[in-house]
Structures are given as structure tokens and as C-alpha cells.
Amino acid sequence: MINQSLLQDVIDIRRDIHRHPETGFDLERTAGLVAEHMEALGLKVRTGVGISGVVADLEVRGAQHRIALRADMDALPMDEERDIPFRSIVKGKAHMCGHDAHTAMLIGAARVLCAKKDTLPNHVRFIFQPCEEALPGGAPGMIADGCLDGVTAIYGQHVWPWLDTGKIGICPGPMMAQADSFDITIYGKGGHAAAPHQCVDPIVIGSRLVGALQTLVSREVSPLDSAVLSVTRFHAGSAYNVIPSEAKIAGTVRTYSKNTQTGIKRRLKELTDGLEMGGELKYSDGYPPLINHEVSCQHAREACSDFIAASDLIFPAESAMFGEDFAYYVEKVPGCYLQLGSGNAELDCCYPLHHSKFGLDEACIPVGVRLLAAMAMRPH
């Protein structure tokens, strides 16, 4: 299905995108490259979808269903520490989550499917999405601009360094969590550090609050539910001899259940309001939980069996508490998001997603191309 020439082209595309990362909705170069490749295949191409996304359609005579395949295109606002020949040349931007590979693999899958156009059972829509890495996410805008119109089912994949290259994970039901964030300002009474009795120390109050927050999940969420609350920032003060008048903490809440999310949000507000001199909570809802559809997972499982050994298919795979705006698509149509093994300890490709030394084993690329193509090659 994938000859060496095609594979090398996909690898070259991935490395080119990796070397020239773009973030958010500002994807002029990346989206332009994608549109160029899609147009070269003779596909009907729309650009500027959801601000800067690209949608391309492969029409198949006599087909009754339309299968959508999605890749995200944006990089992260961070620097890369991995020393590779195609390292990012853009300061403060790097593909440390594998979206460069996602985009390149979907281009490769489009080439595979176009070559088999006369034998395909489905129309195919290729969705290249901006801004997965930051709220509000690119998916809502893509959907508003009609990327799911007429779609029967949607599939996507994410490189997964926790699985060895060659393995594929399918997680029926809840796969990724709702990813919310919170900021709390703690008010106190500042003064000289040598006279703490004349102050109301927001650092001490904040320290107690951090401890209390750690019990919200362990003591107030049902053991049968999944939830994470992590405090990730604590800022206060600017001098050795000054007790500040306020402190700020921030963090993230990850949940699968709306009731659990609502309960944690309520308790955060109660704890903040109950501080000695009060406080202020800003709570931001993130992407909804990503819930894979059972029927789509079964379709993916059958498609995977066409080209990988049973021992390389992880079913059911473990869910994760990450956030992913693919969730918006599967709220609208049936779909499945898959885990593409990309880890290889010998190549030092085991760093987690969003790590400054994240890397992937490029041997996962032909597997990913075949995986995406396989989703559209079986009848629905």
C-alpha cells in the first residue's frame, strides 16, 4: 500500500513542517503547504475554514457515506531542546506534540486513497485543523464552517510515546478528559516580614488552600469517577523582608463527568470565598471530554486487523486525562480517536507530549498512514 517513494515524501513533509512551526490560527505556511498537496491530487479544496483550516473532498462514484479524517496542524509556544537535523528554526515555537506528523500522515493517506479511488466504498473528507493546543480550539470554528456536513463518521489519531512503535491503541468510551483551568487570587494584608503579627499573610493562607485542594479529589469525588486537580503555579511577593498583600495560584481540573466537574468547580468557589480576607476565583471551562463511540471503535478495530498483528492492537487501551478538541467532532457525529504508538527507547523517543525533548520514532509514520487510510477503506 505504501511504497518507499511515498513514505519518503511523507517523512520529508513532516520534517519540513517540523522545521517551520506555526502556532494557533496563524498557519499561513503550513496550511498553504497542505492545500498545495491536496490540490495536486485533484481534490476539491476549501481554505480558510474555521479561520485557517483546510478541507479537501475525495468524491467516489456511487458511495453513500462520507468518512472524515482529521489532523491538527499547530505547534506549541515553546523551544525545542532535541538536537536533530530538522530542529525548529523559529524561536519560541516547536512541534513538541507530533502535529507535524499528524498533518504529514494525513497527506500520505490522501495519496493512498486517491490511488484507490475506483475501489473505495466511501467518499472521504480530509480535515486539517488549526489551533488544537489552545482555547477556544480550532474544531468549533471548523464545524461552524461546515466541515462535518454530510459526514457519516470521523476518525483521527495521536502519536503516543507511551506505546512502542507499531502498536495501536483503541479506547472505547471516555478516552480524554475535560481540561479546565482556574486562577485564584488570595487577598491578605501586607507589611514588614519582621512583624508578621501585624499582617494577614496570603502566602500562609495560600499554602493551606493548596493543601485543601488536594483533598477535593481524594475525599470528595467518588472513587468510581476519574478526576485530577493539580496546582501548577504559586506566585507571591517580591522581596525578602516584605509580606505581600496578595498571592496567586493557578492550576488545572480534569474530569470525565459533568457532575464531577460541577462539584469541583462549586467547592473551589466555596473554598475561595471562605478565605480569611476573601479571594477571587476565575474558572475557565476547557474542551469537553472526548468520548469515543462504540460502533466507530469496532470499525477501527476491524480495520486495524487488516494490516497489523493482533498482538500489536491494544483493545481496550487506557484512557488519559489530557484534553483534545477532537471531542467536539464526536459530539456531533460518531467517531473514534486512536493512539498511534511512537515510542522507541533506543532512539530516545520516550519523552512525553509537550516535553522540550519530545521526539517520535519515524517508523510510526507508515503505520499512521495505513491506519488513517484503513478507516475509509471499509464500508460503513
> What's the confidence (pLDDT) of residue 112?
97
| Rounded average pLDDT over 108-136 | 97
- Annotation says 118 is catalytic: no
| Rounded average pLDDT over 117-121 | 96
- Annotation says 100 is catalytic: no
Indicate the pLDDT class of residue 161, thresholds 50, 70 and 90.
very high
- Select which of 22, 100, 132, 324 is catalytic: 132
pLDDT of 375 over the 70 cut: yes
> What's the confidence (pLDDT) of residue 370?
97
| Rounded average pLDDT over 334-349 | 97
Indicate the pLDDT class of residue 224, thresholds 50, 70 and 90.
confident
Q: pLDDT tens-digit profile of 285-309?
A: 999 999 999 999 999 999 999 999 9
Q: pLDDT tens-digit profile of 38-91?
A: 999 999 999 999 999 999 999 999 999 999 999 999 999 999 999 999 999 999
Task: List, in order of start, the domains of the chain with CATH numbers.
Answer: 4-177+289-377 (3.40.630.10), 178-284 (3.30.70.360)
> What's the confidence (pLDDT) of residue 361?
97
Contacts of 308 (CB under 8 A, 6+ apart): 166, 167, 168, 367
pLDDT of 1 over the 80 cut: no
| Rounded average pLDDT over 213-221 | 93
> What's the confidence (pLDDT) of residue 217?
93
> What's the confidence (pLDDT) of residue 24?
98
Indicate the pLDDT class of residue 2, thresholds 50, 70 and 90.
confident
- Select which of 22, 74, 100, 246 is catalytic: 74
DSSP string for 59-124: --TT---EEEEEEE--BBSS------TT---STT-B--SSHHHHHHHHHHHHHHHHHTGGG-SSEE
Distance, CA of 109 to CA of 103 (rounded, Å): 10
Using the 8-state DSSP alphabet, how is residue 246 labeled? E
State pTM to two decimals: 0.94
Indicate the pLDDT class of residue 15, thresholds 50, 70 and 90.
very high
Three-state SS for 192?
strand
Mean of the per-residue pLDDT values for the chain?
Answer: 97
